Structure 1
Amino acid sequence: MADIKFYDFELNLLHIDNAYSSVDWLLKFNDIGTFEAHFPINSPVTKLCMENEYIIAVQGDNQAVITGKKVSSDLTLYGRTPNWFLSKRVTPNFALMYYSPEFIAKQHVAAAMEDVSNFKIVRTSGFTTKIRFWRNVYNPTIKVVSECLARVSAGHKMWFDIGEKKLKYCAVKPSDTGLIISRTNLNAQNLSYTDDFQDSANGGYYEVTDESTSETSWTEIASDKTGLYRWVQVLGGDNEYDAKASLKSKSRKKDVKFDVRDLTYGKDYSLGDIVTVNSEFGGCIRSDRKQITEVNIWYENGNSGEKPVFSDTDL
């Protein structure tokens, strides 16, 4: 099983261990991932964690800040991926910005982390689309960054560069790897297809309040359908952006579910990758685009496994 290395916040090596009982990682694209590990109570890690409050765990390319521990018949460590630090910062409200999501997110991360001397932002090229983005209230920085980058199906990551002894951040641009997942390619199994439009809508109305008079009015997002195909609802949100997001959540749900075979994280795919899923049911062939948004990796009793999670994408 892969070693776990423990460091302090200054990235000094404290201990290397491979006698754990189990390890479970849930890595997320554009969100905070989780870590849980179990050790025998007599493990050196128990003493290490009782004597040190601020610890980083590193297993291969995966990293976590230890955010909790439980000591009973064994030792359990709980952690979060390094972008958890962005949940400990607050971004004030700000006026409209019209730049690429990568630039906007970078600006807010830089402001939030300005007091951290060993922090570095790594720029990511290829973000050519500009968006209009603002916030009227204070928010956790992680929320601002995630929502900004999600506008173009992008993400972000933070990691500790052990060699440079720095915490680093970068935006992650989704990549179409050309990977095709299908029974034919022997990398998919247990496929199923669902289609549900019971609660869907293609148009609607949202309520807007005039800040100066407090009067309310209703604005329509027109449907492009007519007759029996025109389905409208009352939408959430008090502005066009939030109302459109509400409408999007009411879209028709078509989904292909499947399990992958013989694919390895970090080798065959990465978080944020765009893949194609080909499936055939009753002679009907479908081709769906999916984005890899999570991966669960575990080690236990000398065995290991992984399971990626796929989400719909407009890319």
Structure 2
Amino acid sequence: MEIKIPSVRILDRDFNLLGEIDDYESLQLTRRFYRSGEFELHIALHKQHVDKLQKENIIVIDNKGHKSGIIQYRQIGQDDKGIETLIIKGPTLGGALDRRVTVTDNFDRVRGPAETVMKHYVNNHLINSSVVARRVPFFANATNQGRGKETPWQTRFEPLNVVIQEIAEWCDIGWYVSLDYTSHKWVFEVLEGRNLTAGQSDRPPVIFSHDFDNIESQSFVDSDQQYKNIGYAGGQGEYEDRLIQMVGSGSGLDRREVFLDCSSAEDAAELVEMGNQKLSEQKRIITFDGRILDTRSFVFEKDWDLGDIVTVQNKNWGLTLDSRITEVKEIFEPESKIEVSLGDEIPTITQFVKQLKNNVKRSG
């Protein structure tokens, strides 16, 4: 696949340009819809401006500032030929949310469109915290347009990045942080994506299929291993006095039950809402991965991009799937390529164990 190798600019937090690199060995950039992505750069140690690749400096891979990351890891190694190489890694700018927890005396509760709820928490815990030392002066929210479905939310002493990811997944809306060169701000914004499926007629459809010679190295997962469809949401109270509300539906052998700890719910109505949110985390996992080929049928970042809903077809597998592009990985090497993931993210063992612990936690 012919991909133009981008140059990498290095900035400090004050937007000062420290250097620009276009002669590196390898660069991988992963952007995600529901959470921050990451990057990894390999470069020979003797090359120009390598000394500027220091922790907490910013790398920028596009002119719009959407593809930017924070250097958080450095590794220097030497191969058997004596060539010294620097490896740097870090999250995209959204990784800054990982540096805050939702500090509050009582639960920080809010209700509104997903965008309003997400920007509320970013504002309260990163931009305009009541504790001055928690504020980041160069962080800002984009103008709130009230996008996404209506949802209530509450949080207390949780990682901010996890809260934002959970809201995004529940409301099926994405987010990212980009650089604004005019205001010298890091700007938090939501991303809705476009419907580009074969069944709609508002926009030219995007179809990834062997018939179009635009996809290879495919992998499809359809898993019910962690799926639950009935939740018993446990609210306030102890033992027999604890308020329990059932959410979901299912019967017979197809009924899959789980207990959901929702002890922070204030009343029965909020308990049901929270129960539905927690139950949604134990959904069926349907995911599709593939390497996109450049046949000029669909141009990346013009005809399709992260967050868009597209159609995937594989006639040999009897598969036709309309799904959202939830991850895009750009690999810039001698053989550059683009890899995409559609649908649900497969939980890791750590995530699964944590989910089980949250479900069985009880206040009495």
TM-score category, normalised to shorter length:
0.7 to 0.9
Structure 1 residue 128 displacement after superposition:
5.7
Aligned length in residues: 304
Match of 1:46 among 50, 64, 79: 50
In the superposition, relative to structure 1, how do residues 33 and 63 fare at CA in structure 2: closer, same or farther (>3 Å)?
same
- With normalisation by structure 1, the TM-score equals 0.82
Q: 1:133 aligned to 2:153?
A: yes
Match of 2:185 among 166, 185, 198: 166
Per the alignment, residue 358 of structure 2 pairs with none
Match of 2:322 among 264, 284, 289: 289
Aligned-partner residue type, residue 59 of structure 1: I
Q: 1:113 aligned to 2:119?
A: no
Q: How does 1:1-315 map to 2 (within 5 A)?
A: 1-49=5-53, 52-60=54-62, 61-73=66-78, 74-93=85-104, 94-111=107-124, 112-114=126-128, 115-123=135-143, 125=145, 127=147, 129-135=149-155, 137-177=156-196, 178-189=205-216, 200-206=227-233, 208=234, 210-211=236-237, 215-216=241-242, 219-221=245-247, 223-225=249-251, 228=252, 230-238=254-262, 240-241=272-273, 243-244=275-276, 247-248=279-280, 259-262=291-294, 263-281=298-316, 287-301=320-334, 303-312=335-344
Q: After the TM superposition, which of the residue ranges 266-275 and 289-298 deviates more from structure 2?
A: 266-275
Deviations 1:80-108 (CA, angstroms, capped at 9, x unpaired) = 10011111122235343221111111122
Instruction: For residue 90 of structure 1, give the secondary structure of its aligned residue in structure 2.
Output: coil
Conservation of the 8 A alpha-carbon contact between 2:55 and 2:70: no
In the superposition, relative to structure 1, how do residues 129 and 53 fare at CA in structure 2: closer, same or farther (>3 Å)?
closer
Q: Tell me the distance in 2 between the aligned counterparts of 1:229 and 1:77.
A: 50
In the superposition, relative to structure 1, how do residues 69 and 287 fare at CA in structure 2: closer, same or farther (>3 Å)?
same
Aligned-partner residue type, residue 12 of structure 1: N
Q: Tell me the distance in 2 between the aligned counterparts of 1:148 and 1:198.
A: 23
Q: Tell me the distance in 2 between the aligned counterparts of 1:201 and 1:27.
A: 29
Question: What are the ranges of 5 or more consecutive residues in structure 2 without an aligned counterpart?
Answer: 79-84, 129-134, 197-204, 263-270, 346-364
Conservation of the 8 A alpha-carbon contact between 2:260 and 2:278: yes
Q: Tell me the distance in 1 between the aligned counterparts of 2:144 and 2:340.
A: 24
Instruction: For residue 176 of structure 1, give the secondary structure of its aligned residue in structure 2.
Output: coil
Conservation of the 8 A alpha-carbon contact between 1:126 and 1:173: no
Instruction: For residue 72 of structure 1, give the secondary structure of its aligned residue in structure 2.
Output: strand
Aligned-partner residue type, residue 169 of structure 1: F
Structure 1 residue 170 displacement after superposition:
0.8
Structure 1 residue 272 displacement after superposition:
1.2
Instruction: For residue 105 of structure 1, give the secondary structure of its aligned residue in structure 2.
Output: helix
- With normalisation by structure 2, the TM-score equals 0.72
Q: After the TM superposition, which of the residue ranges 99-108 and 139-148 deviates more from structure 2?
A: 139-148
Instruction: For residue 106 of structure 1, give the secondary structure of its aligned residue in structure 2.
Output: helix
In the superposition, relative to structure 1, how do residues 272 and 48 fare at CA in structure 2: closer, same or farther (>3 Å)?
same
Deviations 1:135-154 (CA, angstroms, capped at 9, x unpaired) = 2x212222222222322200
Aligned-partner residue type, residue 208 of structure 2: I
Conservation of the 8 A alpha-carbon contact between 1:195 and 1:254: yes
Q: After the TM superposition, which of the residue ranges 240-249 and 180-189 deviates more from structure 2?
A: 240-249
Instruction: For residue 102 of structure 1, give the secondary structure of its aligned residue in structure 2.
Output: helix
Per the alignment, residue 202 of structure 2 pairs with none
The sequence identity of aligned pairs, in percent, is: 21
Question: What are the ranges of 5 or more consecutive residues in structure 1 without an aligned counterpart?
Answer: none
